[in-house]
Structure 1
Amino acid sequence: MSAPHPKGSFRSQISVREAIAVLQTHAPTLGAETVPLTAAADRVLAEDLASRVDHPSCDNSALDGYACRAADTLGASADAPVTLRLVGDVPAGSVFDGTVGPGEAVGIYTGAPLPRGADAIIGVEFTRALGGEVALTKPASGDDVRPRAQDLRAGEVYLKRGQKLSPAALGVAAAMGYAELPVVQKPKVGILATGDEVVEPGRPIREGQVYNANGYALAALVARAGGEAVLLPHVRDDLGALEAALGRLELDLLLTSGGVSMGRYDLVRDLLFERGRVHFWKVAMKPGGPALFGHYGELPVLGLPGNPVSSLVVFELLGRAWLQRALGSLSRLPYDARVTGVAETPFRGSGFKETFARATLTFENGGYRARSTGNQSSGVLRSLLVADALAVVPPHTDILAGERLELIML
């Protein structure tokens, strides 16, 4: 086993919070691009957007029924209906040209403009049509009139820079009059699996080898976090091959899987120490302690452990922080977006390290109850498949059954 020989200074065994701060410090500011609404889902908005219109654009009806004057319908009941004369009909998208006078009503439909002279609506279920008249069995109400600009007012900002464009946000953008939206460019994130033992899925495998599960899981996590994932060809345990692979990359961030621990063949670590810059190596967390972050030339490199759970947890807690800062996203980091619950099984700590244990959740009596998934080895990838959350165990702490704990939802 060889020990690395770092050049310059770097931080080691730093807290998760400190590691997040370092990563965010080195995140770039990305440019913007304009995309159609159909391509904007889950993108990050690049600038504030104000509504171009009032919505609704006029006083309109909240239901199907009849528009009339509320004063004409006072006292209407099933036993003593009030009869109004029908003077027109106004579907949605149409406008009634006349004016509703005393004792008159106009048929109206959801979204249709309220006619001049009318100030109330009666739902069709409380009426009976009688030729050219309509009988009301209850008074009409102004509550069923939606006033102009009730939802959106022209000139007011409703979508903020840094906001993730959810389906609801896209609906608001469309209602404000936008066919295209300015969004932050997606950071291009390369994913590089290293190690002689790693084999691509679908190929024959021999004893001692593993399939490249990390690469495909990380690509999905990168895409979910708003990045453009680039799966790179696997690199064997050869320093020259690794250096050649890194030297020709044009990326915003490189994620490596494996090669960052204390072993003789941990070549990502060696390359960064000897020919790059290391900002930190080793984070006081479990799983994922050997994580490394540095630069190879101008390329930022986040070295993830090779064990699959460690690799994915480090990305969720640390790598996502880099992406969200690069995107200017206002979304809360997973590390900060915690809920509380009660432990149904013990969760053991790991000395000075902050522990993130996989847990399944049930929701009972208004709160979460958390159970360990069982074996917490960082090589048991299946545990992440069944886990609902990461149970956070602070340093120098054990959480016993029945005690409260914090949970990071997966």
Structure 2
Amino acid sequence: MSNTDPRALIAREPMHRRQIIAIAVATALNALDGFDVLSISFAAPGISKEWGIDRAALGLVLSMELIGMGIGALILGAMADRIGRRPTILACLVVMASGMFLASTAQNLTVLSAFRLFTGLGIGGMLAATNAIVAECSNARRRNLSVAIMAGGYPMGAIVGGSIAAFLLGTTGRWQSVFEFGAIITAAFIPLVLWLVPETIAFLLHKRPAGALEKINRTMVRQGRAALSELPPRDEEPRRFSFGEFFAPGIASVTVLLIVAYFAHMMTFYFLVKWIPKIVVDMGFPPASAGGVLVWANVGGASGSIVLSLLTQKIGVRPLVIGAMICGAAAVTMFGQGFTTLASLSIMACIGGFFTNAATAGLYAVIAQSFPASLRAGRHGLVIGVGRAGAALGPITAGLLFAGGSSLALVAFVMACGTLVGGIALAMVRYRENAIA
């Protein structure tokens, strides 16, 4: 980029408060995703009691929005590259708010599952669009920090939203109140995005829609920068992407191993965060207390992502993630080993959340380093999209094991093996040979 290209100015100059605000809103949107994904976990004990469903069926409904997220990340995420980040975020908010409200009206498991699948479509698209917003609004010096802060929004949303959900469950006794709250808070973000999040300059320069210069100048002036007299030269038109490039010589093993690592780890991660409330309720504790244990798992998760981000300044990210996966497997196994008090369950959930979420946050950085620049945009959708199948399979597998009479200790051990397999697969990735800055 030339010095007259506004992307170069954004990359090298200090960040304006409007850039920081846009990143803060994107972080809040990621926090919203964190609550929306786990809302079904908070509501699950009440649903199971009211409808009398077994654990196998509950495992299926716990996974439906995860399936939707995988589809949404691939389809709606691609839409963000065609129509823009801002309109995609607004569309995803409408989908999410509608899905949350409809879930509160469901009268049976089939209908609830369909509404959770629909909600997941919006969540998956939102994740892809907010990643782009943060990367394109940050300067070069603060980009990694901004992405790390945004990633930390996910468990923070579960902490704050989970605390509210626990309060609602304790005061109303209705599982529907969790989804009603989610619908209201999601809809509230629509005017916030319209007001504070403009389309990114990087997207406008790449796609050049009608009025691009005027939109870019409006953003530039609001950021305290000089307006452009004309658009800079157009980037070279990218060649059409071929799916087969992911499996070309030198890349195929990296692609397969990363998919295995992410898939297997997501099975463990979402077993932990999806099943905690139901497991705790089945021990005889009230749903509000069970929600509190899940909140502690996310306190650990938020801490884990922050600690890993800080450690990457001194230690390579891949060995950190492998270490977090090994420790996470041990912690998830220990969670099932006979702890019967709320305090001990909360501590073990916090430790498990710390390591499994640290590994999840670090995996995104590893993926970014694992492909050449020409494949970097497409690899996110492929690896994350396929990996979400592992996220969906985790709660389903656990539900089937529980329904078959397996003890919590055995289920926790089996599910912990997922992140252990992920660590082994990640150790086999030779990503430095392929990384391009």
Alignment TM class, shorter chain as reference: under 0.3
Which is helix-richer, 1 or 2?
2
Higher relative contact order (CA 8 A, sep 6+): 2
- Please tell me whether Structure 1 or Structure 2 has the larger radius of gyration of its CA atoms: 1
User: Under a length normalisation based on structure 2, what TM-score does the superposition of the two structures give?
Assistant: 0.23
Bigger strand share: 1
Could you state the TM-score of these two structures normalised by the residue count of structure 1? 0.24
